[in-house]
Amino acid sequence: MTKPILLLLGMLLVNATANAQWQVQTSGTTARFRGVSAVSDQIAWASGANGTYARTIDGGKTWQAATLPGAEKLDFRDVEAFDANTAYLLSIGPGDASRIYKTTDGGKSWALQFTNTNPKAFFDAIAFWDVNNGLAVSDPVDGRFVVIRTSDGGKTWTPISPQNMPPALEGEGAFAASGTCLIAQGKTNAWFATGGAKVARVFRSMDNGQTWFVASTPIKTGNAASGIFSIAFKDARLGIVVGGDYQKEKEASDQIAITQDGGRNWTLVKKSGLTAFRSAVTWIGNSELLAVGPSGSDLSTDDGASWNANDAAGFHAFSFARKGNTGWAVGEKGRIGKFKR
């Protein structure tokens, strides 16, 4: 194929992505959604307040929403799904409000796998390398973040040694805003991002969450409402963080940074074009990313170096299918939007 034709195809792909809009779908609930997990072009799960979860197996033409029995007071801020039958739900909150459930029959039944017994702990997110191996992170207890791990599909969850976690800063915590402050990548890598302190930081592990290291970022913070809200990695080295101040959701300032060495060093993207506070970001193609927030969404076609406004529709969380060309975003009052590349 000649070079001019390749260039033309590339331009067409960029334009198609930049012009993509949300297809709003009917979720069947008015509960606030904060978690979403896209499995394929046909399968996705969502989670939210009042013990609510939802699933589609037909690309979003129909969603089946339900309340997990006995969990009506829980807020499911994260969901990790693997197929039409298998999914994990994480609820957030102090003490026993933080729980992990699992279904293997499409939501017909749920097994309670973990209930937090430490009144000081507050779990924020859950992530998996595969259906059996995963981890969850809690805000600091006695000066250190808490990480629990599973290697048997959630049958057991084991906390790592506090000595394997660097000390937390005063006021530091993770944001349970979109289920994307924690990410697992490859077979052994994991990162989680923080805010609320004088410095926003990224913690990293290369051994399935057993030991952790930490790096400072230039993301603007300084109060309990600001810092990093979402982290994504394209591979083991190239990663991105976004955030801001959720009390100033239309403000855009020092809220995106990139790493090219696996999270050891982070560089602020100045004059990025990102238009406002963003609570979730992920890659949707080889060099394309999408970031969402309560006031709209933005697209990048150069691995996050520059951004353009995509749409004014507000969402809290976004997930793009591991296999396919489809993503879903979720938000207030059961709002679900489908994004197609």
pLDDT of residue 2: 47
pLDDT of residue 15: 45
Give yes or no for a contact between 328 and 60, defined as CB atoms under 8 angstroms apart.
Answer: yes
pLDDT of residue 20: 62
Decide: residue 5, CB within 10 A, 0-12 exposed, 13-18 middle, 19+ buried: exposed
Give the integer Cα–Cα distance in Å for 103 and 287.
34
Give the integer Cα–Cα distance in Å for 130 and 142.
31
Question: Domains in the chain, ordered, with CATH?
Answer: 3-340 (2.130.10.10)
pLDDT of residue 3: 43
pTM, full prediction: 0.93
Furthest-apart CA atoms within the chain: distance in Å: 64
Decide: residue 16, CB within 10 A, 0-12 exposed, 13-18 middle, 19+ buried: exposed
What is the identity of the amino acid at 249? E
User: Cα dist. 21→199, 255, 257, 311 in Å?
Assistant: 35, 24, 25, 7
Give yes or no for a contact between 28 and 318, defined as CB atoms under 8 angstroms apart.
Answer: no
pLDDT of residue 322: 87
**What does the H/E/C string look like for the chain?**
CCHHHHHHHHHHHHHHHHCCCCEEECCCCCCCEEEEEECCCCCEEEEECCCEEEEECCCCCCCEEEECCCCCCCEEEEEEECCCCCEEEEEEEEHHHCEEEEECCCCCCCEEEEECCCCCCEEEEEEECCCCCEEEEEEEECCEEEEEEECCCCCCCEECCHHHCCCCCCCCECCCCCCCCEEEECCCEEEEECECCCCCEEEEECCCCCCCEEEECCCCCCCCCEEEEEEEECCCCCEEEEEEECCCCCCCCCCEEEECCCCCCCEECCCCCCCCCCCEEEECCCCCEEEEECCEEEEECCCCCCCEEEECCCCCEEEECCCCCEEEEECHHHCEEEEEC
Residue closest to 169 by CA, chosen among 220, 214, 225 = 214
What are the tokens at 229? 């809200």
pLDDT of residue 258: 98
Q: What is the pLDDT along the chain (341 residues), one digit of tens a residue?
A: 444 444 444 444 444 444 567 999 999 999 999 999 999 999 999 999 999 999 999 999 999 999 999 999 999 999 999 999 999 999 999 999 999 999 999 999 999 999 999 999 999 999 999 999 999 999 999 999 999 999 999 999 999 999 999 999 999 999 999 999 999 999 999 999 999 999 999 999 999 999 999 999 999 998 999 999 999 999 999 999 999 999 998 888 889 999 999 999 999 999 889 889 999 999 999 999 999 999 999 999 999 999 999 999 999 999 999 889 999 999 999 999 999 98
